[in-house]
Amino acid sequence: MIRQVICYLSCVSFVFGMQPDEWAVFSTANSGLPDNQINAIAVDSGSTIWFGTTRGLARYNGRSWSVFDTTNSNIPSSVIHSLFADEKGVFVGTDRGLGIFDGVKWKRIDSAGTLFTSKLIKGVVKDKAGNYYAASEHEVVKFNSSLQPVDTLEFIGTLQSLVIDGSDNLWVGDFNHGDFNGIVWKYDGVRLTNYRLREYPDLISSFPYALAVDEKNTVWMGTGGTPGGRLVRIGGSGLDIYTSMNSGLPQGAIRSLGIDRATLWIASGGGLVSLNGTIWTVFTASNSPLPENHVIAIAIDKFHNKWIGTLTGGAAVYNEGGIVTSHGRAEEGPAGFTLYPNYPNPFNGSTTIRYSLAAPAHITLHVVNVLGEVVAEVQQGMADRGDHRIVFSPVDIRAASANPSPGHLTSGVYFIRMLAREAGGAAAFIRILKMVYIK
C-alpha cells in the first residue's frame, strides 16, 4: 500500500536568519581535513568527531585535528566509505577492509580475507546485546562482543545501507543490478522478509542508500536512482513515500539520515533537510553557510550539533540553539577570532562592524542578501592582531556583482559574512550575523 504524503508550500521553511554561533564550516583550506569529500561522519563516546574522506580519516576534538592514512598508521586504506564509533573505538570501513582504532592502536578485521567476498565495507551497526554487524558489498557478517565472527548473511545484490531497530531487527538496503531492483530486507534473527521497491511506482529502480530508526522505532529510508531522491517511512501497513512533488523534499539523492529527538535530518543532493512532524526546513548554500548543496553524510552528537559532510565542499556543523562542544558553547571562532554584532542594528545611515583577531589573518568581510548573494565588499586583505572596527554605510559601498549600483540597497534583512584565515590556512572560521537596514 502506498500512502502519498501531501504537503503544501506553507509546510516548507527556507532558512534566512542565523545566529553567529549556529554554523561553522571546515575545509582543507581552514582545518585539518585531508580532503573536501566527506563520505562518512561518526561521533565517539568522548564527543570527538571523525570524518571519513577519500584521503584519510580525520579526528577533531573541538580544538585540534589529527589525520590517519596509510602513510602514518595501520589503517587498511585512505579511501573511507563508512564509520561507526562506540566504547571500543572507531570502526573504519574502507575499500580495502575494516579497521578499528581504539585511540592508540589499529586492529584489522579479516586481514586474511576469508570473511568478506568484497573488501569494500559499506557500514557497521551494533545491537543491544553487543553484537556487531559489518556489511560488505554482498554479505553481512555478525560478530560477537569480542569481535569474533559468528554468522553470515549473504545477498545477491549490492548492499547499500544497514541499521538496527529498537527491537534488534537488522534492516539492510540492497540493490540487484541484474533486474535493477532495490530491496529492503528485515532480519529478526531467524528469517528474512523484504520490501521489493519495484512494486511501488515511485520507487522503481531506486537505490536504498540510507536507513535510520527514529525514537518511535519507525524505520526511514532514503533513496536515489532513476526516479530521483525519495524519503520513505516504512510502516506496518505499507510505505509512506515523500517526493519533491508531494512534500518539501528537494530534488536529489538521499545519502544519509540522522535523528535528533523528534526531528529527522536528511542529507540530500538538494541540500540539508529537516522534517519535524509536517514541517520541512531546507538549508542550501544560498540561504545558509552550507558550503554546497550536495550533502552526503550527517551525524548528530549528544549536544544536538548536526555534523554535515558534502561531496566537494568539506564539512559543516549546525546547531539551531548554538554550537556546543565538550569545551562549552562556541562563543568564539578558532584561535579566539570573534565577530561581534554590528551596532546600531537596525540601522539607517551607517553601522559599525567589529571583530577581533588573536593573530594576523586574511579577512574577507561581505554583506550578503537573503539569497546568499554578495551585495557589498566591506574588507578584503590582511588585518593585524587585535580589535578592529569598520563603519559600514550603504551610500558609499563598493559595488559587488549582485548589487545594481553603489548606494542602492533596499530596506530589509542582510547578513555580515566574515571569513578569517591565518597564514598557512590554520585557525580560520566563517561567521554570519544578521543585520537590518531601514532606508
Query: Helix, strand or coil for residue 334?
Result: helix
Architecture of the domain made up of 334-437: Sandwich (2.60)
The candidate with the shortest Cα–Cα distance to 266, out of 298, 234, 294, is 298
CA distance 228 to 406: 42
State residue 374's pLDDT score.
83
> For the chain, what's the residue count?
439
Distance CA 418, CA 430 (A): 6
pLDDT at 402 (0 to 100): 43
Mean pLDDT computed over 100-105: 95
pLDDT band at 18 (very low <50, low <70, confident <90, very high): very low
Q: Are the C-beta atoms of 189 and 174 separated by less than 8 Å?
A: no
Cβ atoms of 282 and 250 within 8 Å: the answer is yes
Q: What is the pLDDT of residue 34?
A: 97
Q: What digits encode the pLDDT tens for the residues 263-283?
A: 999 999 999 999 999 999 999
Read off the pLDDT of residues 358-396 as tens digits, 9 standing for 90 and up.
788 889 898 888 766 788 889 999 988 888 999 998 876
The pLDDT of residue 70 is 97
Whether the predicted model's global pTM rises above the 0.85 cut: no
CB atoms within 10 A of CB 19: 16
In this prediction, residue 336 carries a pLDDT of 63
- Residue spans of the domains in the chain: they are 32-321, 334-437
Whole-number average pLDDT of the chain? 86
Instruction: Give me the half-sphere count of Cα atoms (radius 13 Å) on the Cβ side of residue 389.
Output: 6
- Sheet strands side by side (includes 386-392): 338-339, 351-357, 386-392
Q: Return the SS3 of 253.
A: coil
The domain 32-321 is placed in CATH, from the list 3.30.160.20, 2.130.10.10, 2.40.10.340, 3.50.50.60, at: 2.130.10.10
Please name the residues in contact with 77: beta carbons below 8 A apart, sequence gap of 6 or more. Answer: 70, 94, 95, 96, 97
Residue labelled with grid coordinates 557589498: 376
Instruction: State residue 103's pLDDT score.
Output: 92
Give 31-58 pLDDT, tens digit per residue. Answer: 899 999 999 999 998 899 999 999 999 9
pLDDT score of 339: 83
pLDDT > 90: percent of the chain: 60
Q: What is the pLDDT of residues 142-161, one digit of tens each?
A: 999 999 999 999 998 999 99
Residue 35's nearest CA partner among 85, 80, 102, 96 is 80
Band of pLDDT at residue 19, cut at 50, 70 and 90: very low
331 burial type by CB count under 10 A (0-12 exposed, 13-18 middle, 19+ buried): exposed
CB atoms within 10 A of CB 358: 17
Query: H/E element holding 211?
Result: strand 206-213
Query: Would you state the pLDDT for residue 429?
Result: 66
For the residues 14-29, what does the mean pLDDT come to?
66
pLDDT digits (tens, 9 = 90+) for 316-365: 999 887 787 665 554 444 456 788 888 898 888 889 998 888 788 889 89
The per-residue pLDDT for range 283-330, each reduced to its tens digit, is: 999 888 899 999 999 999 999 999 999 999 999 999 887 787 665 554
Per-residue confidence (pLDDT) for residue 12, from 0 to 100 = 40
Integer-rounded Cα radius of gyration of the chain: 23
Which pLDDT does position 327 carry in this prediction? Answer: 53
Q: Is the pLDDT of residue 229 over 90?
A: yes
Report which residue type is found at 183.
I
More confident residue, 32 or 237: 32
Give the number of C-alpha atoms closer than 13 A to the C-alpha of residue 314, restricted to the C-beta side: 17
